[in-house]
Homo-oligomer: A and B are copies of this chain.
Amino acid sequence: MSQKITLKKIAHDLKVSISTVSKALRDSHEISVETRNKIKVYAKKYNYKPNSIALSLKNQKTKKIGIIIPEIVHHFFATVISGIEKVANEKGYQVIICLSGESFAKEVVNMDVLANGSIDGFIMSLSKETMEKQDFHHLEEVLNQGMPIVMFDRVVEGIECDKIIIDDVAAAHSATEFLMRKGRKNLAIISTVDYVNVGRLRTKGFKEALEKRGMEFTENRVLKIENAENCSKEIDDFLKKDDYDGVIAVNELFAVIASKSLKKMGKSIPEDVAIIAFTDGILSKYASPTLTTIGQNGEDMGGLAATKLIERLESKEDVEESYETVIVKTSLVERESTPQ
């Protein structure tokens, strides 16, 4: 078990000073070619690599990005992380991941811990509880310390930082129009409670599309689910209340459950009822029938977030106050759950 080698040990073994070793390894012309080679050979032999903690302390940069998200066992978030990691790694950054588990308290603690020097900046999507509480002091504190944040998906208006989102209203709007063009006239949406902004915005787009076509929007066309755990019965009951011929779901899980429920009721998909889901994930691709979805490319969103954050980290900090909100394009992926 050979302990990690340091500049100091090399210096001692080779009977030169630490500064000489450091310079030699960085190919400084201040050091003679002879000495340089001797040191390099020795360093190579013992596989010297500079200690990153020491570098972080010296440079006041960690080359690490903190990610705080509600859950990781969630296809969308997993793709976002994957996108972040890819870009970050290319640019020499590592990612540290903390999960809030949808809890405000954990989000705050995690941010506190990471903000104490462990990372250079944050990429995050807020927990449900935070959205409900509307308490963002932890974000403001971090920003106030000069540490940049990039938010994605679950973002909030009041906070001044870069944001990566999809245009939920427009996407829901066009999905609704798509169904109407297919001749569907009695539409419903399975959404989340309003404090989750994506649910609220998607419902809004749905409503706008209906009204634009002069169709009636009533609240009973909307199911607002709070807890995804036991939503099967809720969805069952909701779908039985009327004879819908088109359903939009704000995520694939709701869509799959709705699909099963409808099949149980003897309806066939897409002939009797067409279904469109948000999030083009693994479920949509392999459900029966496969689901038409609005794809929000998580990988792209993550990549963008990382790019933006790193840009800000590496620019000379004087470009303050030019925060941007990037709207990522969605794409409609047609599959079996909507008619040709």
Contacts and interface: CB of A to CB of B under 8 A. Distances in A.
Nearest to A75: B73
A85 B98 CA distance: 7
A319 interface: no
Contacts of A115: 49
B62 A72 contact: no
A139 to B, nearest CB: 14
A116 B49 contact: yes
A104 to B, nearest CB: 16
Contact-residue size bin, chain A (C-beta under 8 Å from the other chain): 35 or more
B117 A54 contact: yes
A9 to B, nearest CB: 13
A57 B257 CA distance: 51
B145 A3 contact: yes
Contact of A79 (B73, B260, B282): B73
Given A53-B53, A57-B54, A98-B85, A146 B1 contact: yes
B94 A95 contact: no
Nearest to A99: B85
Residue of A49, A56, A110 contacting most chain B CB atoms (<10 Å): A56
11 contacts: A1-B144, A4-B145, A52-B117, A53-B57, A57-B57, A72-B85, A73-B79, A86-B99, A257-B286, A260-B288, A282-B283
Interface of A: 1-4, 47, 49-54, 56-57, 62, 64, 71-75, 78-79, 81-82, 85-86, 89, 94-99, 110, 112-118, 141, 144-146, 253, 256-257, 260, 263, 282-283, 286-288
Given A54-B57, A89-B99, 12 more contacts: A1-B145, A2-B145, A4-B117, A75-B282, A81-B97, A85-B98, A94-B114, A94-B118, A96-B96, A256-B286, A282-B282, A287-B287
